[in-house]
Structure 1
């Protein structure tokens, strides 16, 4: 985004320029800023570099546009100024014209080849800048000339990984308090009120980023009328309701509470609800609104906090709505089983969260285990048991396949334990045993560790468990996995292995190829485990069967993989015979077999 004031001029010569060029360039910039067109023309006639740029990339043309000096702009263009010249942040004269809202200059630069949707290095277009600065006429002109209303801010891959960027003109208008611009965007230009930036924030969250609350009530009303999500989260997990309480804005709180789907007891990342915050801030009127709407009294030591603040009317209000004098019951002594996730589990256990059936969960980065193709995996408690919660959209085919397969395999100890599932707010929550790491993560942290006495007990145990899991899946449950890979093999706090991720599993209907796909993947897994992850699994998948067999370190491994790649007619029961393969024998058994032979 551009500012309305350029930075200071460069005071020392650039490596490529001469002292005269630098001096003339500075004089050009000075002439433009002072509005001295006679001096400007004199310098240009004397051969001054028309496209001179200071250390921040400001040229005479950029400055002339910023100052709305149309006569100077035309003069500079006449002397060869580049109409598409970019500043250090890649802002062009066209984008600056959007900032200052000069429609004539916007027309001029479009005629000189500007792209109506061109953006600077931060992803700001002229249309976005017009929304930021409340330039209504420029906004309308750009819209009429093809500006994309719902274009989201583009950014670099590094910035995207930090969840930066993605904002739209609607969010810009909301953040800067321009209710009139917001109304035009929504009513006349079809702005998408449901759009989210790369952090998942919508325009309603952006409205609360305005430091002076300018037009906050009008903007909130407009966004709600057009269907903005009231349960979206911003920084630190704060919802619009929590932000409205923080701003002490009772009218906006009232407006939000009137929304049908408002989650009144949602908490921020510190576990605070809107009511707890209102009590801490001594906001009796807002607390009254929340209590009347049925806010939970079990969200903290409400009465104690009110008494500590010497707020007798608030104490009376809270007690009349069922708040306890003693606040929360003391937390019993408890230690998590998981060492990796222990700290986050302890925090989740003590903060207030509204229950989803038997599940306590908080969809927040602090409690995220992993990303998935749908809703991610989070820490949770199901009936008091620490769990990993896999989230799907309600009605998801993947989610239905996962639950169906898990329900049919509850008795299989080599598959991840399934505790149950809950449905809430168009989401399906699948609750599974919490593990410490994936097989891929294990090898990443244990690289270079020697095998004790050259007997790889870990490899034998892991593969034995996976073989049993897949065999039971095929024979007892009648399913095929279809996504066997190191990321889907989990290791728990006892170092036991289990197979997980069944959202691509299918009920076997007798098609041999489905089981053969699982057996093929097992062949790759055998080599991956024996070689301790040094050969990436994705690389193994690209190799021919002969190459995979050739890469095996010993004859037993080669033979086991060969058996997996070359199946007989009984594909469903194929693994049963392989569990007795010499690969799985201990040294003692091998010695005994040789002795008896």
Structure 2
């Protein structure tokens, strides 16, 4: 019996020894192979600081392995190093370590701080990429969440600056990535106003497609449409109209685009504006209507276009102007369109009275044929049949 107890006791001792040995072996393996502990040993062996400074240093040297070890010991690869003022991504970009940049951009912590600026120059990763004309990397940064609304110069929106410096690739990149097209520079002008001033049709179309306001004021204080019409650019005016520019805005000059087109004698421009809803009777600040301007200019073709569009011919000033110009075609058009033939010129005198006194026989005949009264006068010489 005693021998049996001894055997049992020895068995338990052997088993306990094996368990303890196993635990010791496991602890040794854990100490040697635990990822974090192993990473610390490797970093310490290379004298790499286990900190943000160490991450920046590793990025500058292109050491992706060390960055991975730092990540294992809970160093934030997206954080700014207080000493250098850089994130590891910025350091890698400055050192042109493309492989490290790729590795870092795969980390969520890095993507979360893409817009963080460097302490020394205020540039973030996207600004650095754009200044280096690395548009592939810039696009990748934006796709990963970087804000495209960045500036090289604090005073100038980058989109405006890119246009002024004729950097077409940068301009296209910014617009494609949703940069606001209506930002204003220190000169107070929108980019669209500057582009219209230069009559750059391609850029105008791009900005309008990106949502630029077609009714913004131009560099003169008039509407962009007015400036385009005044410049005689039919195609650009049509682009603005199709984008929603209101044709009846009255700007700094006190005129509408239609008035400017009539003054310029541009029948095609007038027709286009009318087709887009311009009011043929809207006068400017000088109270002159489009039809009055056309009449005073003796432009019968424009007068006809305006009349066909609904211009009011029963403005006394129209018949007076046609008579003063001795413009029979204009007078005839007005009278046939419904103008009053009994218009008085002053001192109780009608246009007909003055036509007779001035020996303007053709004018008098047109007035009589339109219904002017010949009562009390002898007009047999005119053969009008209105002698009574």
Please give the TM-score of this superposition, normalised by the length of structure 1.
0.32
More helix by share: 2
More strand by share: 1
